Amino acid sequence: MWLESALILIILFGIIILGNNRLSTMIQLLALQSLVLSITPLLIHPSIHAFTMTIVTIVLKVIVMPSLLFWAIRHVSIRREVQPLIGYGKTLLLGGFLMGVAFLISSKLDLPDKGMSNLLVPTAFSLVMIGFLLLVTRFKAITQVIGYLVMENGIFLFALLLLEKTPLLVEMGIFLDIFVGVLVMGIIINHINQEFGSASTVNLTNLRD
């Protein structure tokens, strides 16, 4: 029961992120989503392993990364995503459609272990798709990072299916990867801003042949 509520909350946060245009709110929402996400291991399978994961997730995803992102937007002084590729309303509609697709796919998918809840796999898929949608429709580099992190949250959920089978060391490795990824992206955002005077990835189209 608690697990289901947590998963619904996670999806809801994801949708709100999709419909928001203020960067600071987006980051806060992401932090909230990550907070709920960090409790799910405990709900699925309470153990020392799960507890460690919860602690590390809270430290990295709720405290370190949001503050890194806040630091980045302070530095490049942007507040909101100005021109998304598709309008917010349409993005929300698309997001809803993709959630439907996610539920459809996960109902047909033949998984060895359904996990504790029927909602777990669809939520994971929905988050991946919402993340992708953010990546595809937004131009600001910072929104791209947020999209990437939402997607990563989805993958994290999916990986919870294998909570007992994965050694702790591997989990820690994955966390380190994400941390380094976000760090690098934060620095790159800064550099894009310095080079072009704005943090929009539209400026990066010169690289095609």
Q: Are 94 and 84 in contact (CB under 8 A)?
A: no
Determine, following the binding rule CB under 8 A, whether residue 85 of this chain makes contact with other proteins. Answer: yes
Q: Which of 1, 48, 169, 207 binds other proteins (CB under 8 A)?
A: 207
Q: Which residues pair with 140 in a beta bridge?
A: 200
> DSSP label at 200?
B
Q: Which of 162, 172, 184, 204 binds other proteins (CB under 8 A)?
A: 204
What is the distance between the alpha carbons of residues 170 and 193, in angstroms, rounded to a whole number? 35
Nearest to 13 by CA among 31, 142, 105: 31
Determine, following the binding rule CB under 8 A, whether residue 169 of this chain makes contact with other proteins. Answer: no
Q: Which of 112, 165, 167, 206 binds other proteins (CB under 8 A)?
A: 206
Determine, following the binding rule CB under 8 A, whether residue 176 of this chain makes contact with other proteins. Answer: no
Axis-axis angle for helices 120-137, 88-108 (nearest 10): 140
| Stretch in the footprint of other proteins (CB under 8 A) among 23-31, 72-80, 169-177, 200-208 | 200-208
What is the distance between the alpha carbons of residues 170 and 166, in angstroms, rounded to a whole number? 7
Determine, following the binding rule CB under 8 A, whether residue 132 of this chain makes contact with other proteins. Answer: yes
Q: Which of 33, 137, 153, 193 binds other proteins (CB under 8 A)?
A: 137
CB of 52 or CB of 190, closer to other proteins: 190
Determine, following the binding rule CB under 8 A, whether residue 166 of this chain makes contact with other proteins. Answer: no
Helix (H, G, I), strand (E, B) or coil at 87: coil
Residue 12 region, left (φ>0) first, then alpha (ψ -120 to 50), else beta? alpha
- In the complex, least distance from residue 52 CB atom to other proteins, rounded to whole angstroms: 31
What is the distance between the alpha carbons of residues 142 and 30, in angstroms, rounded to a whole number? 13
- In the complex, least distance from residue 1 CB atom to other proteins, rounded to whole angstroms: 29
Determine, following the binding rule CB under 8 A, whether residue 139 of this chain makes contact with other proteins. Answer: yes
What is the distance between the alpha carbons of residues 82 and 153, in angstroms, rounded to a whole number? 25
Determine, following the binding rule CB under 8 A, whether residue 202 of this chain makes contact with other proteins. Answer: yes
Axis-axis angle for helices 120-137, 141-159 (nearest 10): 160
Instruction: Map the footprint of other proteins across residues 94-113, applying CB under 8 A.
Output: 101, 104-105, 108-109
- In the complex, least distance from residue 188 CB atom to other proteins, rounded to whole angstroms: 12
Contact set with other proteins (CB under 8 A):
85, 101, 104-105, 108-109, 129, 132, 135-139, 144, 201-202, 204-209
